[in-house]
Amino acid sequence: MVQVNPDDPRYADLQMRGYNRRFVGAPGSVHVVSGTDEVVDVVNSAVRQGRRIAVRSGGHCAEGLVDNPEVDVVIDLSLMDSVSYDPAERAFAAQAGVRLGRLYHVLDMGWGVTVPGGACPEVGVGGHVTGGGHGVLSRLHGYVSDHLYGIEVVVVDDDGTARAVVATREPDDPNRDLWWAHTGGGGGNFGVVTRFWFRAPGADGTDPTTLLPRRPPRHVSAAAMWQWDDFDEESFAALLNNFMDWSARNSAPDTSTAALHAEVAVLHRDCGMLMLTGRVEPSVPGGTKLLDAFLSEVTAGLPEPGMTTSEDEPWLYKVLNVPDAGEAFGLEAARLRSKVKAAYLRKPLDAEQVRTVYRYLTDVDYGYPAAGLMIAAWGGRMNALAPADTAVPQRDSIMQLSLVNSWNDQDADEKHLTWIRLFYRDLFAATGGVPVPDDRTDGSYINWPDTDLLDPEWNTSGVPWSTIYYGDNYPKLQQIKARWDPRGVFRHALSIEPPQNPRQGAP
């Protein structure tokens, strides 16, 4: 283990390893650990000294949950990055500091398998998996957390003693509730996860090449792009409505289009670009025809695209070589400041909401190219389980929506934050400025945390942040919190509350 203090020249790198530079921590020490025993030692020491703990895996948290001046001790898991097959568990073991790119690479090269995780290779599995986690293969295979077989977690008992616990999804496992809490309950809530085991639900036998989804043979995608100058409000509404209608018709768990991942990305008019993208798993029979049919349906009645592209590349190469989005707008990725807001949609946006989207993305008083909206088609195997089967409650959504904004200039924080906050508030004005779980929306995604949901200025719905993220699963998560973290050692602005101590307002 390496302990890095503020007078160490390495401290600055560890202090700001998160990608969102709006947040900078000031921990008294950062502990770069190499194994579970070292994590136990650090936690024991911090608890004895009454020091607040935070854990970092990949450093991609969108809010200041780790990079927080109130945190005294940061446990950095970046050196815990082994991936292997565990024959005793008949599952693939990955330490919690593994980045997604490394996980994909080792699984692919070693066994020709993969997990349906996110598209950014630098994201750490520690937070990604525990918050649900999804990617371009999730309509076909489900959330990455649906493939979680077991976890190793360092927890703190009521007497203040840290210990490592293993929990699995086996029905007779006495620690099964701890496994369940990590299938979408979010990171930093119950302890320090040090290891994950992955096996596909229902997978049987001892051949490791059959225990996770097979990696696709190729990366096949197509995109249609337009210039904003080609669109007025009517044609813009047609684009969104065509996409949303397709998503609504193709969200069932048994949909024949599950092999297709689809999304529409619309950046502010100053960027000048609108883009529709489809990606398909080509080994599925009729996969490429699905892609052609999708593009044909969604572009029907629209202006002719100014550009169309298609890709057919090696799968792993494409997964590991994702272009940096910031560079497209002249932003320095190492200095990005950002804000993300999300919503699960059970029905398409209504006409007033579409008008709101158009108004914000064409606002001449706010001209900024890296601000926009993305909507991804949802469903398929992500909708196959019941809400209570895992901690992820959103199991009947047709789309996932996100508002995004990134910038470099610290002095412009208020301008850019205000734009995205007002956009989100007005988009969901009918339900208090947030996507409350009802017949149209189903809350938000904990892996894109948004502390505005705590703030009564921005959440006037009367529905607490916990319901927006966790729905009816929240009381069970609270009971698990009480069992496994009775002293409240592991906490942050959006952490699970003990049953007897609901948190009100902003932290």
- Of 198, 214, 230, the residue at which a domain comes to its end is 214
pLDDT for 507 beyond 50:
no
- Where in the sequence is the domain holding 454, given as residue range(s)? 216-468
**Structure-token pair, residue 446:** 């904990």
Measured between alpha carbons, how far is 256 from 250 in angstroms, rounded to an integer? 8
Buried-exposed string 159-191: b where 16+ CB fall within 10 A, e elsewhere: eeebebebbbbeeeeebebbbbbbbbbbbbbbb
Q: Which of 34-38, 324-328, 395-399 has the lowest mean pLDDT?
A: 324-328
Residue-wise pLDDT for 283-299, tens only, equals: 999 988 999 999 999 99
Q: What CATH number is attached to the domain comprising 77? A: 3.30.465.10
Tell me whether residue 266 is in a domain.
yes
Q: Are residues 360 and 446 in the same domain?
A: yes
Q: Are residues 202 and 309 in the same domain?
A: no
pLDDT at 435: 98
pLDDT at 331: 57
Q: What is the mean pLDDT of residues 175-192?
A: 97
pLDDT at 358: 98
pLDDT for 315 beyond 70:
yes
Tell me whether residue 486 is in a domain.
no
pLDDT at 195: 98
Answer yes or no: are the C-beta atoms of 263 and 374 closer than 8 Å.
Answer: yes
Answer yes or no: are the C-beta atoms of 266 and 230 closer than 8 Å.
Answer: no
Q: Are residues 203 and 121 in the same domain?
A: yes
What number of CA atoms fall less than 13 Å from residue 168's CA on the CB side? 14
Band (pLDDT 50/70/90 cuts) for residue 332 is low
Q: Are residues 60 and 209 in the same domain?
A: yes
pLDDT at 327: 56
Q: Are residues 167 and 314 in the same domain?
A: no
pLDDT at 504: 42
Q: Are residues 22 and 147 in the same domain?
A: yes
pLDDT at 19: 77
pLDDT for 59 beyond 90:
no
Q: What is the mean pLDDT of residues 32-53?
A: 98
Measured between alpha carbons, how far is 359 from 353 in angstroms, rounded to an integer? 10
Q: Which of 41-45, 187-191, 322-326, 441-445 has the lowest mean pLDDT?
A: 322-326
pTM of the model: 0.95
Q: Are residues 324 and 261 in the same domain?
A: yes
Q: Which of 13-17, 37-41, 81-85 has the lowest mean pLDDT?
A: 13-17
pLDDT at 335: 59
pLDDT at 505: 38
Residue-wise pLDDT for 454-505, tens only, equals: 999 999 999 999 999 999 999 999 999 999 999 999 999 999 998 975 554 3
Distance of CA 245 to the CA centre of its chain: 24
Strands 73-76 and 29-32 turn out to be parallel
- Of 214, 248, 277, the residue at which a domain comes to its end is 214
pLDDT for 333 beyond 80:
no
Q: Are residues 208 and 331 in the same domain?
A: no
Band (pLDDT 50/70/90 cuts) for residue 1 is very high
Q: How many CB atoms lie within 10 A of CB 340?
A: 19
**Structure-token pair, residue 55:** 């854990």
pLDDT for 225 beyond 60:
yes
Answer yes or no: are the C-beta atoms of 199 and 248 closer than 8 Å.
Answer: no
Tell me whether residue 482 is in a domain.
no
- Of 214, 229, 257, the residue at which a domain comes to its end is 214
Number of domains in the chain: 2
Tell me whether residue 490 is in a domain.
no
pLDDT for 10 beyond 90:
yes
Q: What CATH number is attached to the domain comprising 328? A: 3.40.462.20
Tell me whether residue 173 is in a domain.
yes
pLDDT at 501: 58
Tell me whether residue 491 is in a domain.
no
Q: What is the mean pLDDT of residues 117-130?
A: 95
Measured between alpha carbons, how far is 271 from 329 in angstroms, rounded to an integer? 8
Band (pLDDT 50/70/90 cuts) for residue 336 is confident
Q: Which of 206-210, 322-326, 407-411, 479-483 has the lowest mean pLDDT?
A: 322-326
Q: Are residues 298 and 368 in the same domain?
A: yes
pLDDT at 506: 34
| Mean pLDDT rounded to a whole number for the chain | 94
Q: Which of 18-22, 257-261, 503-507 has the lowest mean pLDDT?
A: 503-507
**Structure-token pair, residue 113:** 């398998």
Q: Are residues 301 and 224 in the same domain?
A: yes
Q: Are residues 210 and 224 in the same domain?
A: no
Measured between alpha carbons, how far is 401 from 50 in angstroms, rounded to an integer? 40
Q: Are residues 121 and 178 in the same domain?
A: yes
Q: What is the mean pLDDT of residues 392-418?
A: 96
Residue-wise pLDDT for 342-400, tens only, equals: 999 999 999 999 999 999 999 999 988 889 999 999 999 999 999 999 999 999 999 99
Tell me whether residue 495 is in a domain.
no
Tell me whether residue 135 is in a domain.
yes
